[in-house]
């Protein structure tokens, strides 16, 4: 078989979201065929996928994420190449596909197969298994993208404290585990006091409450508390973090859980030379993407990875996504296909 269409009759299980009535969405597992998948020069048999907040939005009819239904979400997938029209990949190779349009308007990883442009695929780096790549997934890749920025900015383990906000979340907990493994001194901010002990066990030097990052004094600058930060929250949290960052420090923001708006004066930038960097993991250019996955495999892969996940089947995914929307999840959920 050497044409893509030769594989069209292969069938597999997928999670499919359809619109029942306007604004009402229904989720069910369905047997699909490869012929129903979108075009692409790489056909991958998916071994593992993982849950992300974007999947919860896609599965609940969020048109900013997914325009057309029926649709199979899943922005992360890892598996084995079954057919390739690209000289860059051969049958049997293990690959990771995260981000780009996967699971948004392209049939995603909550399925036995995906067909995608080969330009989206990363060869599984040495030092990672397919399963580990999905425990890390987009959230770990996002955390690692921020650490990649810190390293590029000259931040080393002895440089000073690194703040991570939303530390119990998927991105935050990966960032904490990756940073502590590499000897950085981490301050974790969390709204869940019951998780303080486990954060301290991960090697965090201090846990602060969520509201410690909600300064309303109106001051342009606050006392210095860290040299670098990964903020997943946005809004007043990001404003407080920027105003508390040391001279020539760096703040990476990836999220807007509190607010998409940022109210801050230019003082952190023009008086302390603080740098604010946005993280846009889905569209990371391939050369940089490869460097970040290599960094993950060689240095950042958390020592505690084995304790950081739960495995679910396709039929349990919708329930887990619902809990995610309600803010009741913690820890990584991966899907065995």
210 touches ligand NAP by CB under 6 A? yes
Distance CA 259, CA 60 (A): 21
- Nearer to ligand NAP among residue 4 and residue 174 (C-beta): 174
DSSP 84-97: ESSTT--TT-EEEE
How many angstroms from the chain centroid is the CA of residue 257? 14
**Binding letters toward ligand NAP, positions 294-313, x by CB under 6 A:** --------------------
DSSP 194-253: GGHHHHHHTT-SEEEEGGGG---S--S-----EEEEEESSBHHHHHHHHHTEEEEEEEEE
| Range in contact with ligand NAP (rule: CB under 6 A) among 18-26, 86-94, 127-135, 184-192 | 184-192
Q: Look at strands 121-123 and 161-164 and give their pairing.
A: unpaired
66 touches ligand NAP by CB under 6 A? no
254 touches ligand NAP by CB under 6 A? yes
Among 51, 170, 204, 300, binds ligand NAP (CB under 6 A): 170
Q: Whole-angstrom distance between the N-terminal and C-terminal Cα of the chain? A: 24
166 touches ligand NAP by CB under 6 A? yes
| Range in contact with ligand NAP (rule: CB under 6 A) among 64-72, 164-172, 217-225, 300-308 | 164-172
Helix H or strand E encompassing 161? strand 161-164
- How many helices (H) and strands (E) are present in the chain, helices listed first? 8, 15
Site for ligand NAP in 130-149 (CB under 6 A): 138-139, 142
Cβ at position 21, least distance to ligand NAP in Å: 28
Among 258, 274, 321, 333, binds ligand NAP (CB under 6 A): 258
Residues that bind ligand NAP (CB under 6 A): 53, 138-139, 142, 166-172, 190-192, 210, 232-233, 254-258, 279-282, 327
């Amino acid at each position: 078989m050497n044409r893509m269409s030769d594989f069209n009759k292969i069938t597999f299980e997928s999670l499919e979201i359809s619109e029942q009535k306007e604004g009402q969405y229904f989720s069910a597992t369905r047997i699909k065929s490869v012929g129903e998948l979108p075009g692409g020069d790489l056909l991958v048999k998916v071994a593992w996928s993982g849950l992300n907040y974007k999947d919860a939005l896609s599965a609940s009819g969020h048109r900013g994420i997914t325009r057309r239904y029926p649709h199979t979400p899943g922005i992360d997938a890892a598996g084995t190449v079954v057919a390739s029209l690209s000289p860059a990949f051969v049958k049997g190779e293990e690959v990771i596909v995260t981000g780009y349009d996967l699971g948004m308007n392209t049939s995603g990883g909550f399925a036995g197969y995906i067909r995608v442009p080969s330009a989206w695929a990363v060869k599984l780096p040495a030092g990672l298994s397919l399963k580990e790549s999905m425990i890390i997934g987009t959230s770990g890749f996002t955390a690692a993208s921020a650490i990649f920025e810190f390293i590029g900015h000259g931040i080393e383990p002895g440089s000073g404290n690194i703040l991570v906000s939303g530390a119990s979340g998927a991105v935050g907990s990966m960032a904490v585990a990756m940073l502590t493994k590499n000897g950085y001194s981490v301050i974790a901010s969390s709204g869940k006091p019951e998780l303080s002990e486990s954060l301290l066990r991960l090697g965090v030097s201090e846990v602060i409450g969520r509201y410690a990052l909600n300064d309303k004094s109106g001051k342009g600058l606050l006392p210095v508390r860290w040299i670098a930060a990964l903020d997943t929250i946005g809004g007043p949290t990001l404003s407080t973090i920027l105003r508390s960052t040391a001279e020539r420090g760096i703040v990476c923001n990836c999220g807007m859980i509190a607010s998409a708006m940022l109210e801050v004066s230019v003082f952190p930038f023009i008086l302390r030379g603080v740098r604010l960097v946005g993280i846009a993991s889905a569209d990371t250019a391939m050369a940089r993407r490869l460097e970040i996955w290599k960094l993950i495999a060689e240095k950042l892969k958390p020592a505690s990875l084995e304790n950081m996940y739960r495995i679910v089947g396709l039929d349990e995914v919708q329930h887990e996504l619902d809990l995610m929307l309600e803010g009741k999840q913690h820890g990584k959920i991966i899907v065995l296909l």
